Amino acid sequence: MGDQAKHLPYWPRKYFALKPDFNATAKAPGHQWLNRTEQMVGFYPHPDQPFRGIRFSKPPRIRFDRKRGRTTLRDAAPFALSSWLITDRLKLLFERLDPEAFVFQKVEVDYSNFPEAGPDYWLVYFMRMLDCVDEEHSIIAYQDDLPGVKNYLGLIDVSMRPDIVGEAHAFRLIYADSTLIVDDIVVAALKAEQIQGFEFEPIQK
């Protein structure tokens, strides 16, 4: 890597696909997007645009469903359009770890069915997209039913190109744009802060 390697974080780094923690989901209230219909008027998906191209004319409004007495709120929950609903403290952590990776949209939360108001929430979308997989040294399951279309269906044992990843800690892959990738630095920070709502699926053996 020559002189460029001097500016890169330590290598090798470990990478993970960010997934919902369904154990946390089972213990937490679900959420309803109250003004979804209004916000989705005229929407057409564009993966390279914030929130896949949705333009929020007003902040998204949500309400948490307290069925069966569930009141413990998660720091992160999957939302629509490959975005996540996250707490204010997780937003601050993401901004500290990799400020150029994410875009955020403030959310209005209806806490009228709670004894008192909870944390502020945001939507987060992974904006950074990289073509950084060293395919020659990786084991990947490819989509093979659409001629001329290249997609990764399974990241079995992935080698990343440090010259492309650089100092990035969070990103999506061009050929798997719904998969959110984070490195071990992000995972360690999320665990240290006891962030609830994520599972980390290794993409390297």
pTM, rounded to two decimals: 0.88
Say which residue the tokens 């307290």 belong to: 66
User: pLDDT by residue (tens digit) across 169-184?
Assistant: 999 999 999 999 999 9
* CB-based contact 107:123 (threshold 8 Å): yes
> Which two tokens mark 193?
């802060």
How confident is the model at residue 113, as a pLDDT?
86
Domain definitions of the chain by residue range: 2-202
How confident is the model at residue 30, as a pLDDT?
86
User: pLDDT by residue (tens digit) across 99-137?
Assistant: 999 999 999 999 988 888 889 999 999 999 999 999 999
Say which residue the tokens 């071990």 belong to: 184
Measured CA to CA, the distance from residue 127 to residue 48 in angstroms comes to 7
| Residue 19 φ/ψ region, left for φ over 0, alpha for ψ in the -120 to 50 degree band, beta for the rest | beta
For the chain of 205 residues, list the mean pLDDT of each consecutive stretch of 10: 46 91 81 91 85 89 78 88 94 97 96 89 96 97 85 95 95 94 97 95 94
AA identity, residue 66: R
* CB-based contact 75:90 (threshold 8 Å): yes
- Tell me the angle at which helices 88-97 and 184-192 cross, rounded to the nearest 10 degrees: 150
Does residue 12 have a cis peptide bond before it, meaning omega lies within 30 degrees of 0?
Answer: yes
How confident is the model at residue 81, as a pLDDT?
82
> Which two tokens mark 62?
């949500």
**Which among 151, 142, 194, 164 has a CA at the least distance from the CA of 15?**
164
How confident is the model at residue 12, as a pLDDT?
81
Residues 6+ apart with CB under 8 A from 142: 150, 151, 152, 153
How confident is the model at residue 186, as a pLDDT?
97
Kindly report the number of other CB atoms within 10 A of residue 187's CB atom.
19
